[in-house]
Amino acid sequence: MSLDEQTAIYDGYWAACAGAAVATRSSALAICHFDAAFNSGAPRAARLLQQSIGVDQDGQLGPASWAALERSIHNTETGTVMAYLQNRWDFLQTLANFAAWRAIWGARENRLGALCGVPWAVA
């Protein structure tokens, strides 16, 4: 696969998850959100974000989601990122193949927390 093909794939996920719009509010949250979109799909990532900010989880990031995200980030960016990581971890645990992938997914979640500068760690 060429670098151009790789770039197109990543750009597609970035666009699908509204990564740029999330990044204008929190670069740390955008990292987690993009990773979730790439690994679980943009609609799942949107629902995780909505769950983390306390709005209806319809998978569509509209005006209510953006307003709630603004409030959540303003109140506690670290708390918002940690809620997203926790909600993602909770989702992963519902998957049928969780036991087989637990260690790998846990390490990934821990790296994301460290990259985002939040005190997050999967036990």
Q: Would the CA dihedral through 43, 30, 104, 90 be positive or negative? A: negative
CATH of the domain at 79: 1.20.141.10
Burial class (CB in 10 A: 0-12, 13-18, 19+), 110: middle
Task: Please check whether residue 12 lies inside any domain of the structure.
Answer: yes
Domain that holds residue 38: 3-116
Number of domains in the chain: 1
Has residue 31 been placed in a domain? yes
121 located within any domain: no
Render pLDDT for 45-74 as a digit per residue (tens, 0 to 9). Answer: 999 999 999 999 999 999 999 999 999 999
1: confidence class by pLDDT, cuts 50, 70, 90: confident
pLDDT at 123 over 80: no
